[in-house]
Amino acid sequence: MLVIEDITFLIEGKKILTEVSARFEAGKIHGIIGPNGSGKSTLLKNICRIWEPQAGTIFIQGRNYRSIPRKDLSTIVTLVPQHTTVSFPVSVYDVVAMGRNPHLGRFGGLGNRDRAVIERALQQTGVYPLKDRIINELSGGESQLSIIARALATEAALLLLDEPTAELDIKHTLTILEVLHELKKQGKTILVTMHDLNLARKFCDTVSIIHQGKLFFSGSPEDAFSRENIRQVFEVNVREFKNDSAVYLDFYA
């Protein structure tokens, strides 16, 4: 689904990403972890062409993403940013409806199919009862679920989520993770940056570690959270506790 080849990205001459290469299969949740400032968010922004790398390229569904018109690319890949600020009063329904914009003609309005997709996205994320509320009046978790619903309304096959559970309570965190698992079952390719390493260990099918702008590791969660990897990247120690099928990571100095 997604192949990244030797991506290098600079801002004002400073390298943020250096020769990053990775492959991500469809129908899986791919966790991306790393210390603050390691380049995780930058990688997502390069994949969806908010920013463009100075070297290397990215292939989505076997096509060089630079050959895909931007409007078409918006129907294939969508980004849920870490923080979304809506500066004017708008209903949840209208926010989610924005996800259909890439599918509409220049002067086209929403059709029956568009409305059906919007309704499904609202239902999937559990925010349908809030559809007439102003998004700025919602809690952080409700607002984040509404933004995820907007991403679902694009019907994109590749979903990028930047710290979608940051600062959310456990209820909304679990709701979002349940939504992602349902999307995985539908064959979506999901890349999600996470700061909660226990959540990444439990819910992701693969884990990639970004460290100092480079791909340090990519593979199974079991191998990702080895003592050596955690010590080198996060400069702390880790031990695993297992209880039946559950695994809990404990970090210590």
Beta-strand relationship, 158-162 and 77-80: parallel
Instruction: Give the pLDDT mean for 98-125.
Output: 91
CA–CA gap between residue 243 and residue 23 (Å, rounded): 32
- Long-range CB pairs of 177-180, under 8 A, 24+ apart, other chains included: 177/203, 179/124, 179/125, 179/126, 179/145, 179/148, 180/29
Provide, rounded to the nearest whole percent, the portion of the chain with pLDDT above 90: 83
Token pair, residue 134, equals 């102003």
The full set of domain ranges for the chain reads 2-252
What pLDDT digit, counting tens, does each position of 184-214 carry?
A: 999 999 999 999 999 999 999 999 999 999 9
Name the average pLDDT for the chain.
Answer: 93
Between residues 233 and 108, the one the model is more confident about: 233
Token pair, residue 174, equals 């679990």
Q: What is the CATH number of domain 2-252?
A: 3.40.50.300
66's CB contacts (< 8 A; 6+ apart) are 52, 57
Q: What is the pTM of this model?
A: 0.93
Give pLDDT, residue 118.
97
